[in-house]
Structure 1
Amino acid sequence: MSNANLNGRPDADRQLIREIADTKVPYGMLAMWSLGQASFIVKGGDTVVYVDPFALSDEEVERRYGLKRLFPSPAGPEQMTNADCCLITHEHADHLDPDTITAMAAANARTLFVAPNCCLDAMRECGVSEARLYRAETEEAVIEGERLSVKPIPAAHEQLERDEEGFCKYVGYVVRLNGVTWYHAGDTIVYDGLVERLAAERIDLALLPINGRDAFRTGRGIIGNMDYREAAELAHLAGFGLTVPMHYDLFAGNTERPGYFVDYVYERFPRLRTHVMARGERYVFVSDAAL
């Protein structure tokens, strides 16, 4: 979607969803679109997976949360009718957006939803029925099928936390789709055991936050993530095939330059593959399984 008109929202909405439908993704490949922040759409074969879809307009974001979007969403919630599966990493509004989930739940009765235990009531309030709502229990596949496998992984945003029932409040996901294993980290820092846990999964493609954390943002109530150095070191140690930085571009005051990540990788791990998503880009990933 390199020439998409992101200023004319209705046209851009239709163009994005049409492009996803028209994109052919042979075995061993994935097509991927970024909605900004940690929001991604990933297609493998005929299966479409959304992660943390956040599509509120500039005006709604500022009215509700007092935040300013740095660019508009390439699609509105009402247009997101094509999801086979929607994965939620945690309860923060830029990851679990009630308007977007409500619209997606109403638009497609076949969409399956996965979310941490502490998010399930919010998902039900958005109209997600019990029959298609899965609790993100870590360390086991919550969806296991021929086309799609989804395994939640604990995330530490900035700490590993559990709810009163003992379930992880923050998760990432290891997804096996179309012969490709990919990992969406959610919001997390690098904690003890994460490298080994991910290395064992043999990740082809990883999406990692790079916006970091500092005392000033903490003072404003912004919970942090790994920074670009930590993301690069994790990618190297865990042996990711390709790493895409995320969670650095959507809200003023909580950004990072993805070039810092690329420069750090180039200087220290020159054989490590990376890709920075352009706004509106369709990126096609080709794994060894396609060759």
Structure 2
Amino acid sequence: MNEHNRRRGAALINEVNQTEVPYGTLAIWFLGQESVIIKGDGVTVYIDPYVSDYLDKNGPERSYPAPIVPEDIVGADLCLITHEHEDHMDAGTLPAFHKQNSKAPFMAPACCKGPLITMGVKEPLILVADDSRETELFSKLQISVIPAAHEQLEQDAEGHYRSVGYVLKLNGVTLYHAGDTVVYPGLIERLRAFKPDVAMLPINGRDFFRRERGIVGNMNYREAAELAVSIGAETAIPLHYDVFAGNAEKPGYFVDYMYEHFPEQKVHVMARGERFVYVSGQAFMNRP
């Protein structure tokens, strides 16, 4: 990695660690694919951190370098993994993440536990994603696990789902990160009950030809837009459209569809490495 990129990554992580957001807001950073950083009330959460060049050596090349590298990541409190695919559970990132943030727990589907241990993550720090209950961490973050159908709902013998998304309640804001999923019966009703402020949704879609190449798909931009509106999300953010040229989508299609069909729906397309501060109505009320 060249000196410019090294300095850029260190500057971004310094920005994350120095950012303080008032009640009713969340700070969000976009690292590409579905990799994001969420911060609120002093808690910093990484979701699917894929910032290495691991896949460059084993499969498709990235369309652009990640805004940070694994060695940049310090100050993390929690890592959430949605499923075992390499661009979500990154063997090039997670060992460094764990080494540099040794007290940060991981939450992941049960099928990810063995691979995480192989990567060096200590077993007591691994929390199995359980959709039957809400998990509270740090006395300020509530996490609900949402089953994800990538492209189908898959469960092991104990009923644990292979792919999941997460609903985070933090700092007076409710955020849904879908992971990789299509829309399936019951998903809308389950999410609607949370009244999410922010919905982060994959838009790259799926088709016969990608499936023949072993690429498992997601909802497309139309489905993602309809889902965001159906669950009452205040703001929708598209994900999973930019890292691999053979499995990409134009986020402008998502924006155009929203503008044409739901012109009052708020949408935000994040730039690479951008800090976006979401402000909810709670920001203008007294903190409970």
TM-score of the two chains, using structure 1 as the length reference? 0.94
Query: Is the Cα contact below 8 Å between 1:188 and 1:209 reproduced in 2?
Result: yes
Opposite residue 139 of structure 1, the aligned amino acid is S
Runs of 5+ consecutive residues of structure 1 not aligned to the other structure: 1-5
Opposite residue 185 of structure 1, the aligned amino acid is A
Partner in structure 2 of residue 3 of structure 1: none
Structure 1 distance, partners of 2:152, 2:187, is: 13
Partner in structure 2 of residue 95 of structure 1: 88
1:61 aligned to 48, 52, 55, which one?
55
Report deviation, 1:187: 0.2
Structure 1 distance, partners of 2:61, 2:92, is: 18
Report deviation, 1:142: 2.9
Structure 1 distance, partners of 2:46, 2:34, is: 10
Opposite residue 61 of structure 2, the aligned amino acid is K
Structure 2 distance, partners of 1:208, 1:251, is: 17
Structure 2 distance, partners of 1:109, 1:62, is: 27
Q: SS in structure 2 opposite 1:127?
A: coil
Q: Is the aligned partner of 1:151 residue 2:147?
A: no
Partner in structure 2 of residue 50 of structure 1: 46
Structure 2 distance, partners of 1:136, 1:289, is: 28
Report deviation, 1:144: 4.4
2:78 aligned to 82, 85, 88, which one?
85
Report deviation, 1:7: 7.8
Structure 2 distance, partners of 1:153, 1:144, is: 17
From the superposition, tell whether residues 7 and 258 of structure 1 become closer, same or farther in structure 2 (CA, over 3 Å): farther
Opposite residue 176 of structure 1, the aligned amino acid is K
2:170 aligned to 162, 166, 177, which one?
177
Query: Is the Cα contact below 8 Å between 2:55 and 2:87 reproduced in 1?
Result: no
Report deviation, 1:8: 2.2
Report deviation, 1:126: 1.7
TM-score of the two chains, using structure 2 as the length reference? 0.95
2:67 aligned to 65, 74, 82, which one?
74
User: More displaced, 164-173 or 230-239?
Assistant: 164-173
Report deviation, 1:157: 0.2
Q: SS in structure 2 opposite 1:35?
A: strand
Residues 36-64 of structure 1, C-alpha deviations (whole Å, 9 max, x = no match) = 0010001112110000000113xx43212
Report deviation, 1:243: 0.5
Structure 1 distance, partners of 2:273, 2:137, is: 31
Residues 131-156 of structure 1, C-alpha deviations (whole Å, 9 max, x = no match) = 22100011312334532111110000
Opposite residue 153 of structure 1, the aligned amino acid is I
Question: Counterparts of 1:100-249 in structure 2 under 5 Å?
Answer: 100-249=93-242
Report deviation, 1:165: 2.9
1:35 aligned to 31, 34, 47, which one?
31
Residues 94-130 of structure 1, C-alpha deviations (whole Å, 9 max, x = no match) = 0001121111111112211100000001111122223
Opposite residue 92 of structure 1, the aligned amino acid is H
2:6 aligned to 10, 13, 18, which one?
10
Partner in structure 2 of residue 278 of structure 1: 271
Residues 181-230 of structure 1, C-alpha deviations (whole Å, 9 max, x = no match) = 10100000000000000000110011000000011111100000000000
